[in-house]
């Protein structure tokens, strides 16, 4: 099941998080129901995790799938432990700067 | 191939690197002893007549220990989560290229060439210096520089991975730690002998 979710996430279109014109963060201004076509307009900021790159999101997802074990992740990604830990630290830094 | 030669620390687990490093250190110490060479510091190889395998192993231990201690202190200063094992395997694996250099002294080629050149070291005899002795030393010098560059690149990449570091400040700290390791190892090896 989790593998299928992961596969689906891989197949999803990339969500733009920054304006291609001025590079400022984008916000959600419209949500719609694909069944009844109800449309909600507003101004919602994107969750922090969605503001990360696709690569970083995949990493976090993999981190959850391995129950937070960097050793397992390193073996799965065929990378060394410090490389995986450094990647996690870089993501944490990005999250902290996005939160501020 | 580039990862294997310059950035093995990004890919391979510490167990694989540790086994490779330990085997290479033992083989390297054997080669150094068998080919009448001796490491008298992290960055210095010399030729000897009366070496022993035990001494060769001891020299390697001093060099690896000095590199590990100074680089670990530097890495901890930069990044608190640095693990000792990552720095230790970095020192072990990065030193492997140095073990190629003793091969140039097969049949005491370099020792004999150095001794012959030293006979003509006075200014009045300098123009009579035999060229055939100079050639192997020039080739050896060129390879030594290449090995030094390879070793430094490997060591820095390992340090960078272990200490999650980038930038000029980290490079300076790394350089200072390497120099201190060289000085400390020369002092220790000199006093052990």
CB-CB neighbors (< 8 A) of A78 in chain B: 11
B11 touches chain A (CB under 8 A): yes
Whether pLDDT at A9 is above 80: no
pLDDT at B163: 95
Whether pLDDT at A6 is above 80: no
pLDDT at B122: 76
B28-42: average pLDDT: 95
Give the model confidence (pLDDT) of A46-69 as tens digits.
888 888 988 999 999 999 999 999
Whether pLDDT at A12 is above 70: no
What is the overall mean pLDDT for chain B? 92
Note whether A80 contacts B11, CB cutoff 8 Å. yes
Give the distance from residue A59's alpha carbon to the nearest chain B alpha carbon, in angstroms. 16
pLDDT at A7: 58
A80 touches chain B (CB under 8 A): yes
**CA A33, A34, A38, A39 torsion-angle sign:** positive
Q: Which residues have C-beta within 8 Å of that of residue B66, sequence separation ≥ 6?
A: B42, B181, B182, B184, B185, B188
Whether pLDDT at B19 is above 80: yes
pLDDT at A83: 95
Give the distance from residue B184's alpha carbon to the nearest chain A alpha carbon, in angstroms. 28
Test mutation, A80, A86, A87, A88, chain B, max B CBs within 10 A: A80
The residue assigned the tokens 């030594």 is B144
A70 touches chain B (CB under 8 A): no
Whether pLDDT at B25 is above 60: yes
pLDDT at A4: 60
pLDDT at A11: 60
B104-128: average pLDDT: 81
CB-CB neighbors (< 8 A) of A79 in chain B: 10-11
CA distance B86 to A8: 36
CA distance B156 to B136: 30
CB-CB neighbors (< 8 A) of B161 in chain A: 80, 82-83, 86
Q: How many residues does chain A have?
A: 100
Test mutation, A70, A73, A82, A87, chain B, max B CBs within 10 A: A82
CA distance A31 to A37: 10
Whether pLDDT at A35 is above 60: yes
pLDDT at B24: 97
Percent of all residues in chain B with a pLDDT value above 90, rounded to a whole number: 74
What is the overall mean pLDDT for chain A? 87
Give the model confidence (pLDDT) of B38-79 as tens digits.
999 999 999 998 889 999 999 999 999 999 999 999 999 999
Whether residue A61 contacts residue A49, with contact meaning beta carbons closer than 8 Å, is answered with no
Between residues B61 and B114, the one the model is more confident about: B61
pLDDT at B17: 96
A94 touches chain B (CB under 8 A): no
B83 touches chain A (CB under 8 A): yes
Note whether B86 contacts A82, CB cutoff 8 Å. yes
pTM over 0.90: no
Whether pLDDT at A3 is above 60: no
Note whether B13 contacts A86, CB cutoff 8 Å. no
Between residues B124 and B4, the one the model is more confident about: B4
C-alpha B2: how far from chain center: 20
Own/partner contacts of B18-25, CB < 8 Å, gap of 24 or more, are B18/B85, B18/B88, B18/B89, B18/B92, B20/B92, B20/B93, B20/B96, B21/B89, B21/B91, B21/B92, B21/B93, B21/B95, B21/B96, B22/B92, B24/B92, B24/B93, B24/B95, B24/B96, B24/B99, B25/B60, B25/B64, B25/B92, B25/B95
Give the model confidence (pLDDT) of B118-137 as tens digits.
877 777 777 777 777 788 88
pLDDT at B37: 94
Give the model confidence (pLDDT) of B159-172 as tens digits.
999 999 988 999 99
pLDDT at B42: 96
CA distance B93 to B18: 8
A2-26: average pLDDT: 73
Note whether B10 contacts A80, CB cutoff 8 Å. yes
**ipTM score for this prediction:** 0.82
């Amino acid at each position: 099941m989790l593998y299928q979710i992961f596969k689906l996430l891989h197949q999803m279109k990339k969500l733009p998080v920054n304006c291609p014109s001025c590079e400022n963060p984008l916000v959600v201004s419209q949500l719609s129901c694909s069944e009844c076509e109800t449309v909600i307009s507003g101004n919602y900021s994107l969750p922090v995790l969605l503001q990360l790159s696709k690569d970083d999101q995949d990493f976090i997802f993999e981190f959850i799938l391995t129950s937070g074990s960097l050793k397992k992740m390193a073996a799965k990604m065929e990378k060394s432990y410090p490389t995986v830990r450094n990647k996690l630290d870089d993501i944490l830094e990005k999250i902290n700067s996005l939160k501020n | 191939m580039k990862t294997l030669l310059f950035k093995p620390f990004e890919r391979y687990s510490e167990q694989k690197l540790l086994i490779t490093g330990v085997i290479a250190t033992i083989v390297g110490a054997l080669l150094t002893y068998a080919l009448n060479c001796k490491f008298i510091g992290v960055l210095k190889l010399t030729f000897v007549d009366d070496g022993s395998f035990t001494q060769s192993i001891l020299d390697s231990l001093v060099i690896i220990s000095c590199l590990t201690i100074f680089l670990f202190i530097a890495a901890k200063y930069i990044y608190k989560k640095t693990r000792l094992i990552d720095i230790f395997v970095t020192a072990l694996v990065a030193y492997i290229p140095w073990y190629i250099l003793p091969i140039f002294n097969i049949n005491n080629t370099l020792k004999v060439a150095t001794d012959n050149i030293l006979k003509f070291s006075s200014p009045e005899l300098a123009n009579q210096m035999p060229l055939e002795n100079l050639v192997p030393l020039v080739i050896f010098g060129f390879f030594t520089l290449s090995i030094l560059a390879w070793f430094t690149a490997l060591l820095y990449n390992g340090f960078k991975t272990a200490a999650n570091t980038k930038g000029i400040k980290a490079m300076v700290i790394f350089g200072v730690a390497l120099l201190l390791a060289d000085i400390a190892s020369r002092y220790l090896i000199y006093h052990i002998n």
